[in-house]
Each structure stands twice: as structure tokens, then as C-alpha cells.
Structure 1
Amino acid sequence: MTAASLSDLDAFMAVARARGFRGAAVARGVSPSALSTAVRRLEARMGVRLLNRTTRSVTPTEAGERLMERLAPVLAEVEGALDAVNAFRDSPTGTLRLSVPSAVARFILPSIATAFLARHPGIVLEVSADDAFIDVVAGGFDAGIRYDERLERDMIAVPIGPRVQRFVTAAAPAYLARNGRPEHPDDVLRHAAVRHRFASGHMPVWEFEKDGAVVKVRPEGPIIASSIDLEVAAAEAGLGLIYSFEGLLTPSIAAGRLVRVLEDWEQDFPGPRLYFPSRRLMPAPLRAFVDFVKAESS
């Protein structure tokens, strides 16, 4: 058996991680047929099928899974070694892939990203907005941003953006005129609510805190959505109270389309963290981003 080329191995990893040729091709900037040819060539050289292909999906075989496990750290080290040359540039080049929650993509990352890219014009930033907790290594990302989740032991985490944030509750002036203002979190149960559902299906409780007392409620209401745009529009139309990140509701509150309620019960929580694998050779675009974030926060 002849030795497999590094490019064919890399193509296999891209397709296996993306669970499809089209998605991997878009991420790599090549054609699906080029990746398909590379994977077929690799399978022919190894004498074993690595991917199960159907019209709807592509999944690794048992042999493919085993190869992925062994290849991931090796390819990461190869990429890191090649990328080390970037350290000698005045400004590094390459692609930085981030997985972030939708709220971060909406009101925290834009100002950080634009300032970072202005300083490093040779870097391409790819951002995937996903509220699920992502294994950044398995997903092919360089780093992720999340709120106060448990991180694996081999992850490094640094604060990014505001150190403290809060959830706020608000409603349209017309809704409050019809139904009155809630004065205590328990009053929320007597109001209609615009509720949020994550892609996982989880619907968070509304949590309030004052003088050490914590109150959690699960209100009912006429609309449940996974889109903050739809939720804000519904609240502005007077369909009920809305409970969300302060940054997402601030524009509507500032414009008078929503009115803040239960302000003395608002709960603070730690801001997001940038997390990434601990490795000896960090990709130059990621190193530049980490250094930028640390400098901005100092």
C-alpha cells in the first residue's frame, strides 16, 4: 500500500467533520468533486471504506472513526508547525474559525471583530452562530465563545466582551397600559409572555434575584420562538412580557417601543469567555485574536 498524501487525509477529515461533501467544499473553498476524488483515492490506497455515503448524508465508517481519532491531533500539530512561520510576519494571515452563541454574534462580537480585522487585514474570520455547546475541536473550529459552561480540562478560557451582563424584562407601553406593571416576579405568572426556545428544545426559566432571594418562574404566553427578532417584534406588538439579554432589548427600550419592568429584580451574570484547546503550537490567527482580546480587556 502506497503512503496516503497529507492533502487526501485533510480532505477526508474535512468531509467527515462536516458530514457532507458540499459543506466541506464550501468551508475549504474547493469543489465537492475535488473532495470526493481525494476521499476515493485515499480509500483505494488504504483498501477500506472510510465513509458511508447516501443521497442525504455522509457518515464515517468504524474504520473512518478510528482514523479520525488518530488523525485529529496529528493534523493539528502539522497545521501548527506550518503556521509557526506566521509569527515572523508583521501581521499574520490565515483563517480564524469561531463558534459563538447567537447573542454574542449579535451584540458583542461585531465591535470586537471589526477592530480586530482592521488591525489584521490578512486574517479571514469565519463565525458560526450556534446556541448549542460545541466541541470546537471535533467541529473544526479554532475557538468558541460561551457563557459559564463547564469546559474540558484541556481548554483555556479568557474573558471577552463585558465582564458582567444581565437579563432584563420588558413590555410594550400599550401592553402595560392594558394589563398593569408586574411589581414582583410572581406577578409574571399572571401576565402573557413571549418565550424563547433554544434549538435543543430547551426553554429557560425566567430567573430573578433581589437581596439574596432568587425567584424562578415559567410563564405562559401566545408565542414561543427561536428567533430574537420575532420575539422582540411580538413584544413590541403588545403580545406579552419579554425576558432576554439586556443588549438585545436595549435598542427597543431606548426607542420607547419597550419599557423595562422589575428593574430591582434584574439578575447579573458573568460575561462570555473565549475558549480554545491547550496546545503547544497555537495557530497564528488565533494567537493574534487572543492577544487582541487580552489587550482590549486590560
Structure 2
Amino acid sequence: MAADLGDLTAFAAVARAGGFRDAARQTGGSASGLSEAVRRLEQKLGVRLLNRTTRSVVPTEAGARLLDRLGPALGEVEAALDVVNGFRDRPAGTLRLNVPVSAARLVLPRIVPPFLAAYPDIRLEVIAEDSFVDVLAAGCDAGIRYGERLEQDMIAIPIGPRRQSFAVAAAPAYLDRHGRPTHPRDLLNHACLRGQFSSGAMTTWEFERDGEVVKVDPTGPLLVRVGAATDLAVDAAIAGTGIIQLFEDWLRPHLDSGALEPVLEPWWQHFSGPFLYYPGRRHVPAPLRAFIDFTRSFGVWA
């Protein structure tokens, strides 16, 4: 009852992605091709592996058992095939990264273009989101996270700037109308533009000066999903709608142009930069190894 390896791989991709379309996007195939592969596998095994509805695709009990045993086996197959990659003049294959939107905007633009130019046989897929998913479960090779978000049993190497800040700013016209805060608690009397994670948690506005830490929970007329709609909040701040808190590097162009004015700058909180992290107990694919080495060549950013 030997099953085709391609059909098994297709089943695993669909089961992990939770749907044929998402799996097709992740694998570069087609939804119809994946559907046909799963159908062949189910027919050969004589058991249904996936429960399909109009909204989702979920493994049956048999499918879940198969996926549990199949995952490590497929990983070993990929590792075995990737060994051959080491004999190529240039690494080839697909590298999948799961990163926060801030990293996609502030870190990767400096690295990705020269990396792809140096390794033209590597295809890079970047999934940018702020839900902090399990990178392996999401079918990714590595991720970018900040120190407090790193998972256990992962290898982490610095990537991007090693020192970052959360800046607070507003349009000069807004501050002329409503006054300039001199202490973080003054923000409670201002219109503040807030962010919310996909989990529903609100971003915390935290400040620090001379060892004093102050946390405030201001309110305002605009609430945006972190990452996906952050630029909307920036545009609203420039238009004079209220005060925004965001990565300093994100706001820096508008601070330099004068469109936004720094607020409470002595209180801005500094923190360490992000890390590239990946599993430490499994074979490192050649595309990921190339990316790790290339990232290290950038050294430590100021």
C-alpha cells in the first residue's frame, strides 16, 4: 500500500495550512492539484483524511494521526535532499520567513535585495503578521522576533538594529491646538491613536526616565490593527488627528521632514533589536544557512 510521496506531501501541506488555497500559496502549486493529490491518497488508503467544509479543511482523526507521524518523516526526506544542495555552486530552493510587520518594513529592506542578488537560485517567501505563530507549524523555516517573544529550543542570532526606541509624536498643528505634554500622564487628556493586536490585546504605552517607569492607557478616536493598518494611524497623526506611539525608525522620515513633532522625547523607551531564530534540533536547509551567513555579514547595526 505504498503511497506516492508527492501525495503525502500535498496532504501534509493542506492539513497544516487549513485549506487548499492557503496550501497552494505556500507551496507554489494549485488548489486543484492539491485536491486531486489528497483525493488519490484517500482512495489508496481507503479512509477519509480531511473533513472539508465551505469555510475550513480539518484533519479527521485518521488524518491527524497520519500527520503526526508524517511530519518528522517528511522533514527527514527534505533534509536528505537538501544535503545534495551542498554540492551545488550556489544554494537553491525556497526560504520561508515569518516576521512581524515592523521587521518587514524596518529590517528586511536593507537585507533582502542584496541577498537575492547574491543568491539568484533562492526564492524567498515572507509572511508578515503580528500574531506570533509557531513558525514550524506555519510551514516556515525561520522567523524574526524580539527577545521576549522567542520560543524555547531555538537558536537566535541578532538581525537588524541592536537598539530601537518607541517614539511618540504628533503634528505641530495638533500640539498648537491642544498643548504639548510634559509628562506621560498628560496623554490621558489627549487624543491618542492606539494599536491592537489580532489577539485583541492593546499595545501598551510605556515610558522610562531616570529609572522611573510609567505606563499609561490613553484613549482616542482611532484604533487600528497592529501592522496591517499602522500606516493609517501614521497618516492620521500627520493630518492632526492625535498623538501616535510607534517605532522611531518608522516615524523618523516624518520627524525629519517636520510633518510630525517629537513628544516626550526624554521619556522614550529603548529596547534591544530583533533576532532571527530557527530550530536548533533539526537540519538547517541550505537556503536558510545562506541567509544566516549573509545576515551575519552585515554585522551589528547602530
* Range that drifts further, 95-104 or 55-64: 55-64
Partners in 2 of 1:62 and 1:254 — Cα distance?
58
Q: What pairs with 1:74-223 in structure 2 (closer than 5 Å)? A: 74-223=73-222
* Range that drifts further, 70-79 or 284-293: 70-79
Q: Secondary structure at the match of 1:238?
A: coil
Q: What is residue 262 of structure 1 aligned with on the other side?
A: 264
Residue 150 of structure 1: how far off its partner (Å):
4.2
Residue 121 of structure 1: how far off its partner (Å):
0.9
Q: What is residue 254 of structure 2 aligned with on the other side?
A: 252
Partners in 1 of 2:201 and 2:180 — Cα distance?
28
Residue 51 of structure 1: how far off its partner (Å):
0.4
Q: Secondary structure at the match of 2:298?
A: helix
Deviations 1:174-233 (A, max 9, x none): 001111111111111111101111222111120000111100000011111121111001
Residue 42 of structure 1: how far off its partner (Å):
1.1
Residue 147 of structure 1: how far off its partner (Å):
1.4
Runs of 4+ with >2 A deviation: 26-31, 149-154
Q: Secondary structure at the match of 1:88?
A: coil
Q: Give the RMSD, CA atoms, in angstroms.
A: 1.3
Q: Is the 8 A contact 1:134 1:144 kept in 2?
A: no
Tell me whether 1:284 sits opposite 2:259 in the alignment.
Answer: no
Long gaps (5+) in structure 2: none
Partners in 2 of 1:117 and 1:149 — Cα distance?
30
* Range that drifts further, 165-174 or 15-24: 15-24
Tell me whether 1:238 sits opposite 2:237 in the alignment.
Answer: no
Q: Secondary structure at the match of 1:149?
A: helix
Q: How many residues were matched structurally?
A: 297
TM-score by length of structure 2 reads 0.95
TM-score by length of structure 1 reads 0.96
Q: What is residue 224 of structure 1 aligned with on the other side?
A: 223
* Range that drifts further, 45-54 or 24-33: 24-33
Partners in 2 of 1:111 and 1:119 — Cα distance?
14
Q: What is residue 63 of structure 2 aligned with on the other side?
A: 64
Q: Equivalent pairs: percent with the same residue?
A: 62
